[in-house]
Amino acid sequence: MARDQNTFAKRQREMEKKRKAEEKRERRRKKKEQADTPPEGVPSDSSTTEQ
């Protein structure tokens, strides 16, 4: 019986680690997207070179 409880606890820990890793990955992805996009009030370099 103790084996089943330990197995369940281990599975719960593993699932929690995976969930946290996924959330962290998502935060990093959003942060990277925000850094890649220029602020809206500032014109980008490509639009200033067109004449």
Which amino acid belongs to residue 17? Answer: K
Specify the pTM: 0.57
Report the chain's C-alpha Rg in angstroms: 23
Predicted confidence at residue 50, as pLDDT, reads: 54
Predicted confidence at residue 42, as pLDDT, reads: 59
Predicted confidence at residue 25, as pLDDT, reads: 97
Query: Any idea where the domains of the chain sit in the sequence?
Result: 1-25
SS (H, E, C) the chain: CHHHHHHHHHHHHHHHHHHHHHHHHHHHHHHHHHHHCCCCCCCCHHHHCCC
Write out pLDDT tens, residues 11-42. Answer: 999 999 999 999 999 999 999 988 887 667 65
Predicted confidence at residue 16, as pLDDT, reads: 98
